[in-house]
A and B are shown apart, each in its own frame.
Chain A
Amino acid sequence: MIRAENIFKSFEDNEVLKGISTEFFPGKTNLIIGRSGAGKTVLLKLLIGLLKPTTGKVFYDKVDFFSLGKKEIRTIRMQVGMLFQASALFDSMTVEENIRFPLDMFTNMTWKEKKDRVNFCLERVSLGKVNDNYPSEISGGMQKRVGIARAIVLNPKYLFCDEPNSGLDPKTSIVIDELIHDITIENNITTVINTHDMNSVMEIGDNVILLYQGQIAWRGNRDDVLHSDNEVLHDFMFASPFLQQLRDSALQK
Chain B
Amino acid sequence: MFFKNFLFHMGRYTMMLGTSFSRPEKYYMYYKETMRQMNDIGIGSLVIVGLIAIFIGAVTAVQFLYQLDGTLVPVYYIGYIIRDSTIIELAPTITCLVLAGKVGSNMAAEIGGMRQKEHIDAMEIMGVNTAAYLIMPKIIAALVVIPLLVAIAAFVSVIGGYLAAVPTGLMSDAEYIQGVRSFFEPFNVVMMFVKALVFAFLLTSISCYQGYYVRGGSIELGQASTNAVVFSDIMILLADYIIAVLLTG
Contact = CB atoms under 8 A, between A and B. Distances in A.
A66 interface: no
Interface stretch (B113-121, B166-174, B194-202, B238-246): B113-121
Contacts of B117: 86, 88, 91
Nearest to A76: B127
Interface in B124-167: 124-129
Interface stretch (A4-12, A100-108, A238-246): A100-108
Interface string B13-41: 00000000000011011000000000000
Contact of B121 (A74, A88, A154): A88
Contacts of A82: 121-122, 125
Given A88-B118, A88-B119, A90-B119, A77 B126 contact: yes
A74 B127 contact: yes
Contacts of B121: 50, 82, 84, 88
A81 B122 CA distance: 9
Contacts of A106: 25-26, 126-127
A69 to B, nearest CB: 12
Interface string B88-131: 00000000000000000000000000000111011011111100
B139 to A, nearest CB: 20
Contacts of A91: 117
B26 A84 contact: no
A50 B127 contact: no
A167 B121 CA distance: 20
Interface of A is mostly: mixed
Interface residues of A, number: 22
Interface string A150-178: 00001000001000000000000000000
A106 B25 CA distance: 7
A49 B139 CA distance: 28
B116 to A, nearest CB: 10
B128 A105 contact: yes
A85 B118 CA distance: 9
A88 B122 contact: yes
B12 to A, nearest CB: 16
Contact of A80 (B29, B118, B125): B125
B124 A77 contact: yes
Nearest to A160: B125
Contacts of A74: 127, 129
10 contacts: A77-B127, A78-B126, A78-B127, A82-B122, A84-B118, A88-B117, A88-B118, A90-B119, A105-B128, A106-B126
Given A78-B127, A88-B117, A105-B127, 6 more contacts: A77-B124, A81-B125, A82-B125, A90-B119, A106-B25, A106-B126
Interface of A: 48, 50, 74-75, 77-78, 80-82, 84-86, 88, 90-91, 101-102, 104-106, 154, 160
